[in-house]
Structure 1
Amino acid sequence: MSVGVPILDADHRILIGLINHLQRSIGDAEEYAAVGSVLRALEEYASSHFDREERMMRACRFPLLDQHRQTHVGFVEQVERLQRRYEADQTSVRARDCLTFLNRWLIDHICTSDMGYRTSLVGHREALDAGGVRPLGGDSLSSDEDSSVDWRRLRVLVVDDNLNFREILSTILWAVGIGGVTIVAGIDEARAALNAGGFGLVISDWHIGDESGLDLVRWIRTSGGVSSALPVLMLSAYEGPERRDVALAAGADDFMRKPIAAGTLLECIAQLILQSRRRS
């Protein structure tokens, strides 16, 4: 399914990853949170990928640019409709609703229409340069934040007992350019990974099976090792201002409610990394 252009193939793999996560979320306890996170990621994916693709087609004077642009607009409008329904009532949008639309897009557009520009883009230096390397959600960063964090060298530990959500999260982290993501399902695994060292950030869910991510945060802060000063971001599918207060009191550096948006997540990570540097 490769279009022969690495940066566009990477974009397409993000979409395929999101489709796979939606498929696995059907009937899952956190299906609605997964759908919300995927919809937000799709909004940012569309903005970043379509802009890149159209710049490249424009640079090589691809004759079907206008046709592609129209289909891109249609995709964005469909995602926006689903997003509005979700925001009005989370239970009104199921994973299957999104999958029907996305699988059709994968077959009709990526596997068919996008193959049409392959011969025009491959080897066209001006078009390849126009593609750039803009990470998913990266537009939310200021130039200072973006230049101050070496995303490719950052290693992140994700702790979440829900397989589907932690894979969605790892897909988003990979998409924004983070070089190393380790995912674990339990606190004991997290402790072992942290004792091994090498991480620059911890992202933990609030509920981890029968355990609490708060216990992990407290252990990190009192461990006395290198990990004790690591920035920690706590996630929860449950809302309420008291959640944030409790997480921060336990030692977390920030709190986000699921579903998450890639741009907001990346901005939060950048802030946490910079704050950690200032403290050290």
Structure 2
Amino acid sequence: MSVGVPVLDADHKTLVGLVNNLHRSIGDAEEYATLGSVLQALQDYADHHFAREERVMEVCRYPSLDTHARIHRRLALEVRELKTRYDGDRSTVRAKDCLDFLHKWLFEHICSTDMDYRAWVVGHPEAASAAESVSLTDSRPGKAQLDWKALRILVVDDNVNFAQIMRTILEGVGVVDIRTAADLDGAKAILAGTELDIVVSDWHVGPESGLDLVAWIRRQPELAKIPVLVLSGHERVASRDVALSAGADEFMEKPISARGLLICLSRLARKGG
């Protein structure tokens, strides 16, 4: 359902997509890493989206802004509490335990509560610009905005669910050209035949190492300058220094933060450009 502001509708689509990602992760071998990333992304997007939504309601003089904001704060707090429980002891939080709650607040809030302000924002001349003024990556005023739609990104991960989380986050900011590979041979084939701006690779791609892919990229004259971000859910083995020494430009541990990921990719895109 549309609230009448394309940017807010896109946020809603991203939030629903993250819930769907969580549903698909149930029983997965990397369920805990997937759950952590989804919870962190939900927290990032909830805080960002609620601030964006409230800015639009403020500009459009929606009379129930205060009531709506209180609902936002309650929902955001519950997501943070879930994430805090997960951080404290992953075994106390399972994907299936979160779904009922997330479905309830996301779908009931979006399909019911958010529809209450629709009449106030549809056609309002400042609604779209107000929504766009609140950025998930907190770009500084006056700094040129990154054209996410122009980016071409390859995601290399043998975990289909995690690759889908990445796609959901990237599509949420407008990235259209997203390629995925589940092994190094597939990644090399895409790299050899496609112009790309950024490569995001898991450290462990099945039995293979993403660092071997990084080394291969750096040996190819036509690919050597492509920025590479390495991710890892095996923090005891992986380290930033090892990844960077292997040729990666950036390193992040799973579970990832959606905001942290986008800030990192923005930095890499500007570096590569």
Residue of 174, 177, 180 corresponding to 2:177 = 180
List alignment gaps of at least 5 residues for structure 1: none
Q: Is 1:22–1:34's contact at 8 Å kept on the other side of the alignment?
A: yes
| Aligned counterpart, 2:53 | 53
Q: C-alpha separation between the residues in 1 aligned to 2:70 and 2:176?
A: 34
Q: C-alpha separation between the residues in 2 aligned to 1:143 and 1:192?
A: 40
Q: Is 2:51–2:134's contact at 8 Å kept on the other side of the alignment?
A: no
1:132 aligns with 2:129: no
More divergent stretch after superposition (146-155 vs 37-46) = 146-155
| Aligned counterpart, 2:197 | 200
| Aligned counterpart, 1:266 | 262
* Distance verdict in 2 for CA 1:270–1:131, change over 3 Å: closer
How big is each residue's C-alpha offset from its partner over 1:120-178, in whole Å with a ceiling of 9 and x where there is no partner? 2111113333222544x312x4458x527432211110000101001101211222343
* Distance verdict in 2 for CA 1:176–1:240, change over 3 Å: farther
Whichever structure has more helix as a proportion of its residues is 1
What is the Cα-based RMSD across aligned positions, in Å?
2.0
TM-score for both structures, normalised by structure 1? 0.90
1:243 aligns with 2:239: yes
Q: C-alpha separation between the residues in 2 aligned to 1:233 and 1:227?
A: 14
TM-score for both structures, normalised by structure 2? 0.92
Q: How many equivalent pairs are there? A: 273
- 3-state SS of 2:242 partner: helix
| Identical amino acids, percent of aligned pairs | 52
Amino acid paired to 1:193: I
1:27 aligns with 2:27: yes
Q: C-alpha separation between the residues in 1 aligned to 2:131 and 2:263?
A: 23
Q: C-alpha separation between the residues in 1 aligned to 2:171 and 2:203?
A: 22
Q: Is 2:214–2:247's contact at 8 Å kept on the other side of the alignment?
A: yes
- 3-state SS of 2:63 partner: coil
Q: CA deviation at 1:67?
A: 1.8
Q: CA deviation at 1:249?
A: 2.6
* Distance verdict in 2 for CA 1:149–1:12, change over 3 Å: closer
More divergent stretch after superposition (189-198 vs 12-21) = 189-198
Q: Is 2:148–2:175's contact at 8 Å kept on the other side of the alignment?
A: yes
1:89 aligns with 2:89: yes
Residue of 179, 187, 190 corresponding to 2:187 = 190
